[in-house]
Structure formats: structure tokens, C-alpha cells
Chains A and B, each alone.
Chain A
Amino acid sequence: MAVFLELLVNGISVGAVYALIALGFVVIFKATEVVNFTHASLLLAGGYVIARLHPLIGFWAALAAGIAAAALVGALVEFLILRRAHVGSRGVLAIVTIGVDILLTTELTRQIGTEVLALGDPWGDRVLHLGPVTIAETRVVALAVAAALIVAFLLAFKFTGWGVAMRATAEDAETAALMGVRLGRVSLSAWAVAGALAAVAALFLCVFPTPGLDRGTAAAAMKAFPAAILGGLDSTTGALAGGLIVGVTETLMSGYQSELAFLGRGIGDAAPFLVMIVILLLRPSGLFGTKEPARV
């Protein structure tokens, strides 16, 4: 039972981190209708900046720099490329983001090389004992930070002018523009916010018990894609639910790997995708996604 509880808490914590990534993904999709495949490399960029700067300027400043850098990269991608690509379909824009992703990921993995970079976080490998459950401090912090950020984001989304502009754009971009919402700023800020969230997620993907930032981190970030789509690409609630589902599934499957030996080694990595397929079979637009009303 203790094992199960431990795994569950860990899963929820990992899931909260995935939810952060998925949230950024959903925000970009809502604001611009672009499926952003650059997300994994935004995350990698944030993590890389933190890893390189923390020995020089200390962890907290490095974290701030990493968040700023990822937000900047996101904003630049939007400003320099997507805004200037005048193509008919959003699908082509998705492929453009893949091109950008190839560029960024190749360069960043080249910089990282075969190293495993520590992020210099203050929590180290300390663990907390809560009754029978032992859990790493980093996981508790991850859960708390992710929860706080998500709540803050949702509140901003609901109550600030920026949030209203964002929601209006998601609802009907043309009308929003006529009402004086500046679409360029909305999508720019969406990309920046998504980058910032991804950088925070990068931190928690790379701290204990994970060894650190390496070239595989981008692949880990890929697991947020099923989180976003199984929750519904246009739903922030969906991103949260999807993140938690993916995190818990992955952690449980990896935790009980020895009992699930018939499924092969490393089933934890494939499990989120299997869950996504099952959910998409039942609900093609995700758990909380808007169903398109068109019926012919």
C-alpha cells in the first residue's frame, strides 16, 4: 500500500509538471490555432540556460534567466517566423514549428553533447517521510509550484484584461480584432507564457530523482503532447486532467514494471501514448475538448 501511495503522489507530482507543459501548449493553440511542436525545444532551451548559468549567478537568478530565455525564444519564434508565414492551412504552420524544433533541438543537443547537466537546485536528494510514505522533496516542491502556477494562470485567464483578450481571441479572432484586441500581442504573449511555463517544467523534469538535463529531456517533454490532446487541445481543464492522467499512468506503470514484465521493459514511456489512443477512440476531441458542431 505504501508503495502504491508513494507512486501515486509521485505520479501526481510528475503529472502536475506535465500539466504545466500541456497548459502552455493549449494556450498557444487557443490563441493562434497552431499546434506547437516547438514546445519540447522551448523546454530544452529553458533547462539549458538554467544549467549553464547556475554555477555563475546562483540558482534563483539562473532560474529567472532560464524562464526569461525560454519566454524570449517562444516570442521570437512567433514574431520572426509564424507571424510572417502566410499560408492557407494551420497544418502547414504546425510543420513550420516542426522545422523550428529540428533547428533548436539539434543545436541544443549538440551543445549538451553527452553530458548530464545538473540544474543546481537547492533541494538536492533530500526526502520527506510522511507516515509510511517516503517522497523526494523535489516532487513536493514540483507539485506545489505547478499547482500555484496553474491557479495563478487560470485566475489571470479569467480576471485580467490579458486573459479576456486571450479568451476573446480564442472564441472568435476576427470579432476580437474588431473590438480592439491586438491579435499580434495576444499570440506573442501566448508564446512567451508557454515558453516560461515550459522552463519551469524543465526544472522539475530534471531534478532528483532524474539525473539532470541531458539530450533525452526533449523526449521526456514529448509526453506532454498526449497530455494536451487527451484532455482536449482547446481546454485548460483538459490540460490539467491530461497531465495528471499521463503522469500517474507513467509512474504506476514504471513502478510496477516488474509485475508487468510481460509488457516489456520501459513500458512507462509508451503507456501515456496507449492511454491517449484509448481515450481518442472513445472521445475523438479529448475529454474536455469542444466537439465541432458540424455534421454533414
Chain B
Amino acid sequence: MSEPVSEPVSEPTSEAATPVRDTPTTATSTTATPTAGTPAPGASRPLLAVPGITARTLRLVLWLAVVAVAVAVPFYLEGFWLQAGLFAMSAAIGAIGINLLTGATGQLSLGHAFFLAVGAYSYVYLSTDLGLPTPLAAVAAVIVAGLCGGVFSPIAGRLKGAYLGIATLALIFVGQHILFNAEPVTGGFNGRPVPPMELFGLVFADTPELVVLNVPFGSLERLWFLGIALLAGVAVFARGVLRGRPGLAMNTIRDHEIAAGVMGVPVARYRAGVFVLSSMYGGLAGVLVALVFQQVVPDYFGMLLSLDYLAMIVIGGLGSVAGAVAGAAFVSLLPQLLTRYSDALPLVAEPGSGGVSPAEAARILYGAAVVAVVLFLPGGLAGLATRLGRVRLKELRWAKSAPAPASRR
């Protein structure tokens, strides 16, 4: 999470000291080295020096490509990939939430699974038992998750860092207890079926049938677009929070609590507030995961899920939205991929055959990934991408010999 090293634009020799120190970007840095000695900055990169292409347009094009791919996916990929993708989206929403709390504010939480459970079960309860329209039930479920976070805020506001991590263990254990025992609401051990979402007359289920461009649109295809929209919305919101005043305040609390207080940041209120926000993100992730699963069961929302979320943000990169999304994709797709290709992979056995099952292999892999990232790749996947991107952007900047806005992370 190193801040961008500000490079004097007029001094190309400083390329040698670009922040590619220990990243595996040797390929990029070697291609860049010849430019180090060239005195005229504009002459070296004719390909990138196309007039009119700035970093901004490049980024725009990239984003358009991402959107195009996201829209095209349901038309080409089968159900398995859609479901995996939807899990990744839901995980990304939850991970953005916990990254606001843990990554940006430095507050550890092991209770995130509890808030997912609150979101999922509230949605089911509000829509089935209280008969709320499903979109309203989803919104209300997110609010209920936020309220639960608020109830915990006397603790969330006062404890810091890893202390809070242990305190939030209570949420998991108490939450599991409630989920198993409050049968009228939660359905006990077997959980409850989830009613499909119905938005503006469109039902997010396999019936009634819907065919778009000769592709049958079942529940997964429909949910895909809902997931994309939700993820985009909450990602933009979190980005706004992180880049604005609240984000600065949160980072200051993380880096130096007392300094933050001295500068007028209400530390306890911020901690509690971020906890509430993060629990609402968790609640939304819970609603989405419930819609994909179509059944909520208490076992899913246990300790392991919380650990998964922490693994996601560490692997992806602490404190950034992109990091949370990348980490969520990594951690939630890994077991699915290993399951699918278990017969083709060495060392991974079919589930139940005695060897390393795909789920276990995935856990071992990302447990190791957490350790490896902290040891060798501070900043995670997002940090790696930024470093690579920064090298590219710098070349571009030279080619234009005008400074482009450097990304903050």
C-alpha cells in the first residue's frame, strides 16, 4: 500500500528507480530500461504516443471493455460459471464492506458472516412471513443488518484492532446459536427456502420462461445482471467514501488513533459508523447469496466464512475497493475451479475419496496465499496491479510529456 512515488516528469533517468523493486515485473522493467538513457522523453514510445490517447481515455476504454464482457457473459457461459460468478459478486460486495472496516480503518472483524446471515435471513423472513414485496424486503434486510451492527457499536466503537476481532467472535457463536434455535424465524438446522426477487414485474427465477437473443434466461442469467448492478453501485459508493473526507479520517484512525483524535476526528463515532456501514455491506452480500442459493442454512454462515472474508481482503489488498473485488474473485472462485477440474489436477482428489478434497485444497491454497501476500506482496493483488499499471502509465506520461492524474492506490 505504498503511496505513489512522485516522479519528476522532466527527468527520465529516474525510471531506473521506479517502484518496481521487488515485484515480479522484471519483464516490464527490462523493456523500460533502454529509455532510461534517452534524453528526449517523447521519442521512445511511438506506439503509445498516438495523439489523443490519454490515460483517461485508456481507462474509459478499459471500463467499457469490462462492462461489455460482463453483459456478454450470460449469453455465452453455462450455469456453472454464472453461479460461480454470482458467488464471487456477492463475496465482492461483502469484501468491500469488510475492507472499509479492516483495511481502511484497521478494525479487525471476525463477525462478518453474522451480518451476511442477518441479511439473508431477514430477507427470507420479511418477504415470506411478513409478506413485504421482495425488493422492499431486500432493502429492509440491509437496514436490519445495519441495525445489528449499530447494536454492537458500543463495543465496535471502543475496541480497536485485533481486540475487536476477538470480541466479534461472539457474533459468530451467538449468531449460530440463534440460527439453530430460533426455529420459527430461521427454520433451524435445515434453514429456509428463499423466495425469488421480483423487480418491476421481472421475476428472478426460472419461471416464467424468458428468452433473450435465443438464449434462455433462467434465474442465474437474470440474477447476473442484478448482481452486476448491485456490485457496481456499492463499489462506486465505497470508492467515494474512501476517497473523500471519511476515507481520510478512517485511514488516519488506522495509522494513528491519537493523531486522528487530535485533528478532530471523532474516533469512536467513526469506528462505530464504519462498523455499521460494513455490516450493511455484509447484509447485502447475504441477500444476494441467499437469492443465488435459493435456500439459507445456518452452517454456511459460520466461522469459516468470516475467515474467508479476511483472506479475501488480504489477498486482494487491504483498504481498496479493487483489492476487495480481486480477492473475493480469487477466494470464491478457487474452490469452484478446483472442484470442477479435480480429475485433471494432480494432488486434488474427488470429494469423499480420502485425498485432499477440492474444498480443502482451496483452503490450503488461500491460507498459504494470505501468508505469502503479507510476506512478499504487501498491497496484495491490487497493489501488484497498481505497480504494473504505474509503470505503464509512466511510459504513457512520458510519451505525452504531460502529467496524467496518478491513481491514488
Contact A269 B173 (CB under 8 A): yes
Select which of A35, A99, A266 is within 8 A of B311 by beta carbon: A99
Residues of B within 8 A of A294 (CB): 257-258, 261
Please report the C-alpha to C-alpha distance between residue A84 and residue B378 in the assembled complex, in whole angstroms.
Answer: 12
Contact A90 B163 (CB under 8 A): no
Distance in Å from the Cβ of B110 to the closest Cβ of chain A? 8
Task: Say yes or no: is A96 at the interface (Cβ < 8 Å to chain B).
Answer: yes
Contact B162 A94 (CB under 8 A): yes
Q: Taking A98-B307, A264-B177 as contacts, is the C-beta distance between A276 and B366 under 8 angstroms?
A: no
Chain B, residues 82-121, CB within 8 Å of chain A (1/0): the string is 0000000000000000000010001110000000000000
Select which of B107, B307, B364, B375 is within 8 A of A81 by beta carbon: B375
Residues of B within 8 A of A276 (CB): 167, 170
Interface centre among B155, B162, B163, B165 (most CB of A within 10 A): B162
Task: Say yes or no: is B374 at the interface (Cβ < 8 Å to chain A).
Answer: yes
Contact A233 B163 (CB under 8 A): yes
Contact A225 B169 (CB under 8 A): yes
Contact B165 A266 (CB under 8 A): no
Please report the C-alpha to C-alpha distance between residue A84 and residue B373 in the assembled complex, in whole angstroms.
Answer: 12
Contact B166 A229 (CB under 8 A): yes
Task: Say yes or no: is A274 at the interface (Cβ < 8 Å to chain B).
Answer: yes
Residues of A within 8 A of B173 (CB): 222, 269-270, 273
Please report the C-alpha to C-alpha distance between residue A125 and residue B364 in the assembled complex, in whole angstroms.
Answer: 37
Residues of B within 8 A of A280 (CB): 155, 158-159, 167
Distance in Å from the Cβ of B341 to the closest Cβ of chain A? 20
Contact B166 A35 (CB under 8 A): yes
B370 to chain A: closest residue by CB? A99
A295 to chain B: closest residue by CB? B261
Contact B360 A81 (CB under 8 A): no
Please report the C-alpha to C-alpha distance between residue A110 and residue B351 in the assembled complex, in whole angstroms.
Answer: 12
Please report the C-alpha to C-alpha distance between residue A91 and residue B163 in the assembled complex, in whole angstroms.
Answer: 9
Contact A91 B162 (CB under 8 A): yes
A223 to chain B: closest residue by CB? B173
Contact B181 A274 (CB under 8 A): no
Please report the C-alpha to C-alpha distance between residue A229 and residue B154 in the assembled complex, in whole angstroms.
Answer: 16
* Residues from 83 to 118 in A contacting B, C-beta threshold 8 Å: 84-85, 87-96, 98-103, 106-107, 110
Task: Say yes or no: is B241 at the interface (Cβ < 8 Å to chain A).
Answer: no
Contact A95 B174 (CB under 8 A): no
Q: Taking A264-B181, A265-B181, A277-B167 as contacts, is the C-beta distance between A103 and B162 under 8 angstroms?
A: no
Distance in Å from the Cβ of B372 to the closest Cβ of chain A? 9
Q: Taking A81-B375, A84-B375, A296-B258 as contacts, is the C-beta distance between A94 and B161 under 8 angstroms?
A: yes
Chain A: interface secondary structure? helix
Contact A99 B364 (CB under 8 A): no
Distance in Å from the Cβ of B267 to the closest Cβ of chain A? 8
Task: Say yes or no: is A284 at the interface (Cβ < 8 Å to chain B).
Answer: yes
Task: Say yes or no: is A145 at the interface (Cβ < 8 Å to chain B).
Answer: no
Please report the C-alpha to C-alpha distance between residue A40 and residue B214 in the assembled complex, in whole angstroms.
Answer: 54
Contact B314 A99 (CB under 8 A): yes
Please report the C-alpha to C-alpha distance between residue A101 and residue B308 in the assembled complex, in whole angstroms.
Answer: 12
Q: Taking A98-B370, A107-B364 as contacts, is the C-beta distance between A266 and B180 under 8 angstroms?
A: yes
Please report the C-alpha to C-alpha distance between residue A15 and residue B89 in the assembled complex, in whole angstroms.
Answer: 43
Contact A95 B108 (CB under 8 A): yes
Contact B166 A228 (CB under 8 A): yes
Contact A35 B162 (CB under 8 A): yes
B172 to chain A: closest residue by CB? A273
Select which of A37, A100, A219, A265 is within 8 A of B371 by beta carbon: A100
Contact B106 A89 (CB under 8 A): yes
Residues of A within 8 A of B178 (CB): 264
Interface size class of B (residues with CB under 8 A): 35 or more
Interface centre among A90, A100, A274, A296 (most CB of B within 10 A): A296
Please report the C-alpha to C-alpha distance between residue A192 and residue B102 in the assembled complex, in whole angstroms.
Answer: 29
Contact A85 B155 (CB under 8 A): no
Chain B, residues 149-187, CB within 8 Å of chain A (1/0): the string is 000001100110111011101100110111011100000
Contact A90 B161 (CB under 8 A): yes
Q: Taking A95-B374, A222-B169, A229-B167 as contacts, is the C-beta distance between A89 and B161 under 8 angstroms?
A: yes
A233 to chain B: closest residue by CB? B163
Q: Taking A87-B378, A98-B307, A264-B181 as contacts, is the C-beta distance between A226 and B170 under 8 angstroms?
A: yes
Task: Say yes or no: is B55 at the interface (Cβ < 8 Å to chain A).
Answer: no
Residues of A within 8 A of B154 (CB): 281
Contact A267 B177 (CB under 8 A): yes
Q: Taking A94-B161, A233-B163, A277-B155 as contacts, is the C-beta distance between A99 and B368 under 8 angstroms?
A: yes
Please report the C-alpha to C-alpha distance between residue A86 and residue B126 in the assembled complex, in whole angstroms.
Answer: 47
Residues of A within 8 A of B162 (CB): 35, 90-91, 94
Residues of A within 8 A of B360 (CB): 106-107, 110
Please report the C-alpha to C-alpha distance between residue A106 and residue B368 in the assembled complex, in whole angstroms.
Answer: 11
Task: Say yes or no: is B239 at the interface (Cβ < 8 Å to chain A).
Answer: no
Please report the C-alpha to C-alpha distance between residue A270 and residue B173 in the assembled complex, in whole angstroms.
Answer: 6
Contact A96 B170 (CB under 8 A): no
Distance in Å from the Cβ of A224 to the closest Cβ of chain B? 10
Please report the C-alpha to C-alpha distance between residue A91 and residue B166 in the assembled complex, in whole angstroms.
Answer: 12
Please report the C-alpha to C-alpha distance between residue A37 and residue B367 in the assembled complex, in whole angstroms.
Answer: 13
Residues of B within 8 A of A270 (CB): 173-174, 176-177
Contact B161 A96 (CB under 8 A): no
Task: Say yes or no: is B205 at the interface (Cβ < 8 Å to chain A).
Answer: no
Residues of A within 8 A of B182 (CB): 264
Please report the C-alpha to C-alpha distance between residue A281 and residue B170 in the assembled complex, in whole angstroms.
Answer: 13
Q: Taking A81-B375, A264-B182, A281-B154 as contacts, is the C-beta distance between A269 and B177 under 8 angstroms?
A: yes
Contact A106 B102 (CB under 8 A): no
Contact A103 B174 (CB under 8 A): no
Task: Say yes or no: is B45 at the interface (Cβ < 8 Å to chain A).
Answer: no
Task: Say yes or no: is B329 at the interface (Cβ < 8 Å to chain A).
Answer: no
Q: Taking A110-B356, A269-B177, A284-B158 as contacts, is the C-beta distance between A102 and B363 under 8 angstroms?
A: yes
Which 6 residue pairs spanning A and B have beta carbons closest together?
A99-B370, A264-B181, A296-B261, A102-B367, A35-B162, A273-B170
Please name 20 further chain A to chain B contacts, defined as beta carbons within 8 Å, in addition to the given A90-B161, A94-B108, A98-B311, sorted by A numbering: A35-B163, A85-B375, A89-B254, A91-B102, A95-B370, A99-B311, A102-B367, A106-B363, A106-B364, A107-B364, A219-B303, A222-B169, A226-B170, A264-B182, A269-B173, A273-B174, A277-B167, A281-B154, A294-B258, A296-B261
- Cβ contacts A to B, 23 pairs, < 8 Å: A35-B108, A81-B371, A85-B374, A91-B107, A91-B161, A94-B161, A95-B108, A95-B370, A96-B371, A98-B307, A99-B367, A102-B367, A102-B370, A106-B364, A106-B367, A222-B173, A226-B166, A265-B180, A266-B177, A270-B174, A270-B176, A274-B170, A276-B170
